[in-house]
């Protein structure tokens, strides 16, 4: 937690030097905030520190500032007590040692890649990876001599792809839209066996329902824009690690690239995280029951949700996850595809949108087409991704019932 006493002392040291026994003139008074007594003040919220400049107590403190450890403060870009508070909270939830916060989920994933991969190296990514991560591999890394290989979305046969150039195995479980899961314990063991680092996108489950670091994964990444933010109004990402050397690599890359986050986004995340437990529990419960009801409908071919007993990797989900979040997918029939625009245009409650994790429920039609390496008949059909929010479950039940009645008629 921030040290208020230290803040007050530093501030008064600056004021003393300016005064030198003479009264301050008004223009000077405008630039220096007076000290107020904070000793009787206590609040449940985290102060939003805005800082580019960070000032130092004395000449020696400034001269030795670069010797400070990475948890300390040098310049606002590299963290303030507000950022450190969110880092510490995420670290604790992920069972890690340190966390870094970056401007988006996408930048959290790419930060890991940029921190550990050099020209000539290869990263292994799953076929169902968040599509902008694949684009990053194709359009950014590849022209710079960093290669990628795509492994099966169910994580099978990864070892066949390993050669000495492989330096990172990336996982996303369940993966984007088609929801296939990878076995993180097996991936972590493979990484250890071959001396390869491993990372996982933990956005769907959040550390409330899955702790990749506990399973042996080196980097646990989250798009905080989703469940931590919880209100569809912020963009942030995080990477948590159990190893200080990996944290140093991440922080070095952030420093070189000038990556930092603004205090308002972090303040919103600190507010959002307070209610994440109840939001996620509610959305997860409602999503599971709606997924079950949809899969029981005669006119629904296939629902993709790991908590459904007939989901292909349901046992894996039961083994490693302590719950499920509010996102699942429904594979549409040809008839339902034909009626899709009509159905979406008649939605009353759910919004049409691609993100998730907010209070409003969302639907997003996704066409995968040729976008995957491992052919699957599902990819030729439209998949409706559904994110359940915090509306009354009965209203959502009615809305989804109406939607599928329209789609099937």
The rounded distance, in Å, linking the Cα atoms of 164 and 176 is 28
* Nearer CB in complex with ligand PLP: 11/355: 355
Q: Residues 237, 306, 343, 358: which binds ligand PLP (CB under 6 A)?
A: 237
Q: Residues 104, 178, 232, 339: which binds ligand PLP (CB under 6 A)?
A: 104
Q: How far is the CB of 268 from ligand PLP (least distance, A)?
A: 13
Q: Residues 46, 235, 283, 330: which binds ligand PLP (CB under 6 A)?
A: 235
Q: Residues 154, 183, 201, 265: which binds ligand PLP (CB under 6 A)?
A: 201
* Nearer CB in complex with ligand PLP: 180/300: 180
Q: How far is the CB of 201 from ligand PLP (least distance, A)?
A: 5
Pairing of β 98-102 and β 237-241 = antiparallel
Sheet with 122-126, edge to edge strand ranges: 98-102, 237-241, 219-223, 197-201, 166-172, 122-126, 147-151
Q: How far is the CB of 305 from ligand PLP (least distance, A)?
A: 15
Exposed e or buried b per residue across 170-209, where buried means at least 16 C-beta atoms within 10 angstroms of its C-beta: bbbbbbbbbbbbbbbbbbbebbeeeebbbbbbbbbbbbbb
Q: Residues 80, 206, 225, 232: which binds ligand PLP (CB under 6 A)?
A: 225
Applying the rule CB under 6 A, the residues between 23 and 62 that interact with ligand PLP are none
- State which residue has the least CB distance to ligand PLP: 105
3-state secondary structure 390-403: CCCHHHHHHHHHHH
The rounded distance, in Å, linking the Cα atoms of 198 and 177 is 22
DSSP string, 300-355: --EEE-TTSTTSTTHHHHHHH-S---SEEEEEPPHHHHHTHHHHHHT-SSSEE-S-
Phi–psi pair at 404, nearest 5 degrees? -75, -25
Nearest residue to 251 (alpha-carbon basis) of 81, 87, 82: 87
**Segment near ligand PLP (CB under 6 A), from 71-79, 102-110, 138-146, 307-315?**
102-110
Q: How far is the CB of 133 from ligand PLP (least distance, A)?
A: 7
* Nearer CB in complex with ligand PLP: 235/316: 235
The single residue listed with the structure tokens 């005669």 is: 298
Nearest residue to 238 (alpha-carbon basis) of 398, 58, 51, 86: 86
End-to-end CA distance of the chain: give it in Å, rounded: 58
**Count of residues of this chain found to bind ligand PLP when the rule CB under 6 A is applied:** 13
Binding mask 162-191 for ligand PLP (x = CB under 6 A): ----------x---x---------------
Cβ–Cβ under 8 Å, residues 290 and 400: yes
Applying the rule CB under 6 A, the residues between 273 and 292 that interact with ligand PLP are none
Binding mask 56-95 for ligand PLP (x = CB under 6 A): ----------------------------------------
Applying the rule CB under 6 A, the residues between 123 and 152 that interact with ligand PLP are 130
Report residue 187 as tokens. 């991936």
Q: How far is the CB of 172 from ligand PLP (least distance, A)?
A: 6
Q: How far is the CB of 357 from ligand PLP (least distance, A)?
A: 9
* Nearer CB in complex with ligand PLP: 236/241: 236
Exposed e or buried b per residue across 102-117, where buried means at least 16 C-beta atoms within 10 angstroms of its C-beta: bbbbbbbbbbbbbbbb
**Segment near ligand PLP (CB under 6 A), from 38-46, 99-107, 328-336, 363-371?**
99-107
The upper half-sphere exposure of residue 16, i.e. CA atoms within 13 Å in the direction of its Cβ, equals 8
Applying the rule CB under 6 A, the residues between 335 and 394 that interact with ligand PLP are 355
The SS3 of residue 367 is strand
* Nearer CB in complex with ligand PLP: 102/215: 102
The SS3 of residue 88 is helix
Task: Write the Ramachandran bin of 79: left for phi over 0, alpha for psi from -120 to 50, otherwise beta.
Answer: left
* Nearer CB in complex with ligand PLP: 130/328: 130
Q: Residues 99, 203, 336, 361: which binds ligand PLP (CB under 6 A)?
A: 203
Q: Residues 80, 82, 106, 177: which binds ligand PLP (CB under 6 A)?
A: 106
Where does this chain bind ligand PLP (CB under 6 A)? 104-106, 130, 172, 176, 201, 203, 223, 225, 235, 237, 355
């Amino acid at each position: 937690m921030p040290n208020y006493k230290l803040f007050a002392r530093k501030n008064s040291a600056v004021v003393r030097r300016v005064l030198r026994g003479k009264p301050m003139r008004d223009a000077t008074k405008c630039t220096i905030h007076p000290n107020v007594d904070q000793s009787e003040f206590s609040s449940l919220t985290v102060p939003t520190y805005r800082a580019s400049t960070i000032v130092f107590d004395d000449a020696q403190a400034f001269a030795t500032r670069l010797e400070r450890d990475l948890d300390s403060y040098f310049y606002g870009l590299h963290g303030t007590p507000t950022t450190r508070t969110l880092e510490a909270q995420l670290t604790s939830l992920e069972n890690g040692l340190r966390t870094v916060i970056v401007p988006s989920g996408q930048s959290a994933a790419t930060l890991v890649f940029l921190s550990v991969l050099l020209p000539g190296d290869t990263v292994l990514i799953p076929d169902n990876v968040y599509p902008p991560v694949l684009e990053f591999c194709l359009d950014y890394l590849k022209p710079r001599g960093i290669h990628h290989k795509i492994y099966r979305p169910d994580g099978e046969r990864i070892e066949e792809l390993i050669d000495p150039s492989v330096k990172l195995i990336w996982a996303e479980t369940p993966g984007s839209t088609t929801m296939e899961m990878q076995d993180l314990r097996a991936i972590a063991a493979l990484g250890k066996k071959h001396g390869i680092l491993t990372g996982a996108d933990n956005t769907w489950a959040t550390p409330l329902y899955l702790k990749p670091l506990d399973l042996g994964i080196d980097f646990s990444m989250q798009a905080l824009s989703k469940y931590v933010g919880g209100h569809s109004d912020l963009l942030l990402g995080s990477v948590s690690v159990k190893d200080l050397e990996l944290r140093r690599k991440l922080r070095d890359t952030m420093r070189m690239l000038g990556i930092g986050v603004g205090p308002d986004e972090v303040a919103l995340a600190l507010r959002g995280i307070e209610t994440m437990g109840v939001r996620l529990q509610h959305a997860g419960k409602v999503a599971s029951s709606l997924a079950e009801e949809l899969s029981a409908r005669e006119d629904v071919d296939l629902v993709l949700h790991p908590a459904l007993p007939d989901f292909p990797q349901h046992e894996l989900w039961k083994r490693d996850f302590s719950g499920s979040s509010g996102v699942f997918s429904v594979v549409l029939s040809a008839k339902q595809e034909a009626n899709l625009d009509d159905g979406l245009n008649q939605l009353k409650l759910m919004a049409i949108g691609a993100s998730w994790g907010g209070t409003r429920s969302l639907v997003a039609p996704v066409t995968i087409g040729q976008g995957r390496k491992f052919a699957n008949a599902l990819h030729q059909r439209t998949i409706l991704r559904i994110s359940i929010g915090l509306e009354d479950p009965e209203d959502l039940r009615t809305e989804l019932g109406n939607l599928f009645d329209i789609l099937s008629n």
